[in-house]
Amino acid sequence: MAKAADSKGDGRVDDFQASLLDRGVLVAQTVPGLCGRGDAFERVVSGLIALTRRIAAADGAERLAFPPVMSRAHLERNGYFSAFPNLAGCVHCFMGGPEDHRRLVGKLVCEEDVADEFRPSKVVLVPAACYPVYPTLSARGALPPEGALIEVASYCFRHEPSTDLARQQSFRMQEFIRVGSPEETMAFRDLWMRRAERLCAMLALPGRVEVANDPFFGEAGRDLGERQRHDALKFEMLLPAGPEGAPRACMSFNAHRDHFGAIWDIRRHDGEVAHTACVGFGLERLTLALFCAHGTELAGWPAAIRDYLGLELTGREDADALSGVIGELAHV
Ligand code: AMP
Ligand code: ZN
């Protein structure tokens, strides 16, 4: 693992995370929990997405893509505001007329706070890639006998500002979601836990799987958390990715039982309420774990790992080498 030091609760990032910024792997922004991604980082993210798709290829998942914002009413119905109100991000917009605009501009000129001039819109930021999927499933009517398997990836938002680069406010999650019987969904979750262990071994990542400990909010949240741990519904793959190589949950394996099926009236072919399970890859955290394990220079990574992630490809096309119609387009 890359040597890490210096972060002793003084708010500074440690050597490993600081070196990612120094070398342009990540690009600092002024708000804690927001950063830009450099080319090396993005190449690893792309490699991870491609790798998980190859592992899952024979499963035949249907690929969907949703915007990183979703209906506020849907997020509310999913139960998010009860469980994690502190993490939610609601989009506010200016909805006034000319008079309101004059007031807004006046405040801007006087450098006053303009937050009051914006009103809640009907959209919120997506907090987990699978959340927009469930409402669309209910619109499909009864599922076929084999159920459904869906792949989605999205930028997700959680309001947890931090100097730890492994705790971003905006990060990408790739997910596979299984919809079917209780047995099918549990088997799917367990299959991915086994796959994830093998994946970590392949990528020489020192992972360990643990029962998840989600930060449910408030008094009621304590009960929800206890029930989640007691029923062992959700597991996480922990990998060194935080300050000084502290472990962070980089993948999660979640059985929801009939939670979403009941909320959205998702029915199996026989009319029973469907169960759901999802496996989520935290793409930024997995990428950080790889940099933590193998160093900040991609060129120094073991050849086999570079190969698994497709890093031998340059990731850039040489415009001079392009031929035909594309080459002509490059030189117009
Ligand atoms: P969860 O829905 O909490 O299980 O999150 C799914 C995955 O997203 C986790 O396993 C993490 O890898 C990743 N993740 C969650 N929160 C963050 C965050 N604040 N910053 C970066 N990645 C995150
Ligand atoms: Zn999910």
- CB-count burial class (<10 Å; 0-12, 13-18, 19+) for 175: buried
Q: Which residues surround ligand 2, an ion (CB under 5 A)?
A: 128, 130, 175, 278
In the block, tokens 């309420």 appear at 273
Q: How far is CA 163 from the centre of its chain?
A: 18
Q: Is 19 in the pocket of ligand 1 (CB under 6 A)?
A: no
Contact call for residues 117 and 104 (beta carbons, < 8 A): yes
What CA–CA distance (Å, rounded) separates 291 from 311? 13
Please name the residue whose Cα sits nearest to atom 6 of ligand 1: 280
Which residue is listed with tokens 């000084």?
Answer: 244
Q: Which atom of ligand 1 is nearest to the CA of 173?
A: 8
Question: Does some domain include residue 9?
Answer: no
Atom of ligand 1 nearest to the CA of 214: 3
CA distances from 37 to 50, 67, 142 (A): 18, 20, 42
Distance of CA 208 to the CA centre of its chain: 19
pLDDT recorded at residue 210: 95
- Contact, 124 vs 251, CB < 8 A? no
Looking at mean pLDDT, say which of 6-10, 46-50, 226-230 comes out highest: 46-50
Report the number of distinct structural domains present in the chain: 1
Q: Are residues 39 and 315 in contact, defined by beta-carbon separation less than 8 angstroms? A: yes
Per-residue confidence (pLDDT) for residue 316, from 0 to 100? 55
CB of 135 within 6 A of ligand 1: the answer is no
C-alpha 319 to ligand 1 mean position (Å): 37
| 87 within a domain of the structure (yes/no) | no
pLDDT confidence of residue 314: 58
Residue 3 above 60 pLDDT? no
Tell me the C-alpha distance between 56 and 181, whole Å.
20
Specify if 18 maps to a domain: no
| Assigned domain for 57 exists | yes
Q: What stretches of 133-274 adopt beta strand conformation (E)?
A: 148-157, 170-180, 208-211, 234-240, 247-257
| pLDDT score for 1 | 45
Q: What confidence tier does 9 reach under pLDDT thresholds 50, 70, 90?
A: very low
Q: Which of 219, 161, 214 is nearest to 35 (CA)?
A: 161
What tokens does 283 get?
């793409």
Among residues of the chain, what percentage have pLDDT more than 70?
92
Higher pLDDT, 229 or 107: 107
Two tokens at 85?
A: 């109100």
Query: Using an 8 Å Cβ cutoff, are 134 and 258 in contact?
Result: no
Across residues 117-133, what is the average pLDDT? 98
CATH number at residue 136: 3.30.930.10
| Residue 281 near residue 170 (C-beta atoms within 8 A) | no
Mean of pLDDT over the chain: 92
Which amino acid is it at 48? L
What is the pLDDT confidence band of residue 254, given thresholds at 50, 70 and 90?
very high
Q: What is the pLDDT of residue 332?
A: 81
Cross-strand bridge partners of residue 233: none
Task: Indicate whether 15 belongs to any domain.
Answer: no
Per-residue confidence band for 229, with pLDDT thresholds at 50, 70 and 90? confident
The angle formed by the CA atoms of residues 44, 238 and 277, to the nearest 5 degrees, is 90
Greater confidence (173 vs 322) lies with 173
Q: Which of 4-8, 19-23, 174-178, 292-296 has the lowest mean pLDDT?
A: 4-8
Kindly state the average pLDDT of the residues 17-38.
Answer: 96
Task: Determine the pLDDT at residue 215.
Answer: 84
**pLDDT on residue 63:** 98
Dihedral sign, CA of 34, 40, 43, 44?
Answer: negative
Q: What is the mean pLDDT of residues 49-76?
A: 97
User: Above 70 in pLDDT, residue 326?
Assistant: yes
Q: Render pLDDT for 80-97 as a digit per residue (tens, 0 to 9).
A: 999 999 999 999 999 999
Whether residue 231 lies inside any domain: the answer is yes
Tell me which of 249 and 323 has the higher pLDDT.
Answer: 249
Q: Which domain holds residue 171?
A: 37-70+127-330
pTM of the model: 0.93
**Which amino acid residue places its CA nearest to atom 15 of ligand 1?**
282
Residue 286 has pLDDT above 90, yes or no: yes
Residue 2 is predicted with a pLDDT of: 43
pLDDT of residue 281: 98
Q: Which ligand 1 atom minimizes the distance to the CA of 282? A: 12
Residue with tokens 């519904």: 233
CA distance 187 to 59: 13
Distance 138 CA to ligand 2 centre (A): 16
Q: Say which amino acid occupies 145.
A: P
Residue 102 lies in a domain: no
pLDDT surpasses 90 at 305: yes
Residue 227: what pLDDT? Answer: 78
Residue 30 lies in a domain: no
Residues ≥6 apart with Cβ < 8 Å to 106: none
Q: Which of 139, 92, 154 is nearest to 282 (CA)?
A: 154
Which of 12-15's residues contact partners 24+ apart within 8 Å by CB, and which partners? 12/163, 13/163, 13/164, 13/165, 13/243, 14/243, 14/244
Mode of pairing for the β-strands spanning 170-180 and 148-157:
antiparallel
Note whether 72 and 82 are within 8 A (CB). no
Q: Select the more confidently predicted residue: 24 or 221.
A: 24
- For residues 41 and 212, give the distance between their C-alpha atoms in angstroms, rounded to a whole number: 27
Average pLDDT over residues 3-31: 74
Hey, which of 171, 234, 236 would you mutate to test ligand 1's pocket, going by the most ligand atoms within 8 Å of its Cβ?
171
